[in-house]
Amino acid sequence: MKRSPLANAILWFVLIMGTAAFVFPLWWMAVVSLETPQRAEAAITGSAGISLFPPSPQFGNYADAVRETGSVPWMGFVDALSNSIVVTVLVV
């Protein structure tokens, strides 16, 4: 079965637009996760725009997030991860 050029164009249009719709929010989440708290707050409350690529990516945000899980630094994350793994293994 050979598709007509028009059908082919439509198909690619749908594929690309669909992928954008599905992936863009995730991309946006990734961008916000790398922003400074001020710029992120401003972006998500609508008082400022945000760039598609963070000008100064804050990779430390991720370390902070892991460290600040639970009440004991680092161990809270270890506990949470352990719980998830144990539950997953037991359920499967």
Partner 1 sequence: MSASPTSAARWIGTVLRTGLAVVAVLLVIAAFARVAYRTATAGEHAAGETVLTVMHWSGEGGQEEDKIVEDSLRAFEAANPGVRVKRLNPGDAGSFYTKLQTMMAAGEAPDVFYVGYERVANFASLDLLRPIDDFVAREYAARKAGDATALDLAAFYPQTVDAFRFDGRRVGTGALYGIPKDFTTVGFYYNKDLFRQAGLAFPTNAWTWDDYIAAARKLGQLPGITGSEFVTWPVMVRTYLRTEGCEAIDDNLEQIRVAEPNAVAALERLRAWRHGEENTLTSGKSKIATGASVFLGGKVGMAGPFGRWVVPSYRNIPKPGEPGGFEWDFAPLPRGGAEANCVLTVSWSIARHTEHPEESWKLVKWLTDAKSQAANARLGLAIPTMQSVAASDAFLDATLPPANNQGYLDAIPESVVVGWPADPTFEQILGSTMDQGLKTGDLTIPEAIAQFNEKWDAHVKFVPGGVNPRPVPWSLFAVIGLALAGGVLAAIAWLFLSGTRANGGRSNARSEERAGFLFASPWVIGFLVFMAFPILLSLVLSLTNWKGIGPLSGADWVGADNYAQLLARDGRFHTAFKVTLYYAAIAVPGGQFLALLAAVVMMQKVRGIAFFRAAWYLPSVLAGVGVSILWRWIFDSEGGLINRTLEAVGIAGPEWFGKDAAVFGAPAFAIMSFWLVGGSMMVYLAGLQQIPRDLYEAAEIDGAGPVRRFFRVTLPMLSPVILFNLIMAVIGSFQVFTQAFVMTGGEPGDLTRFYVLYLFNKAFELYDMGYASAMAWILLAIVLALTAVILRTSARVVYYESLRK
Exposed e or buried b for every residue in 20-36, given b needs 16+ CB within 10 A?
eeeeeeeeeeebbebbe
Does 17 bind partner 1 (CB under 8 A)? Our answer is no
CB of 10 to partner 1, least distance (A): 10
Does 15 bind partner 1 (CB under 8 A)? Our answer is yes
Does 23 bind partner 1 (CB under 8 A)? Our answer is yes
Distance of alpha carbon 89 from alpha carbon 92, whole angstroms? 5
CB of 59 to partner 1, least distance (A): 19
Does 43 bind partner 1 (CB under 8 A)? Our answer is yes
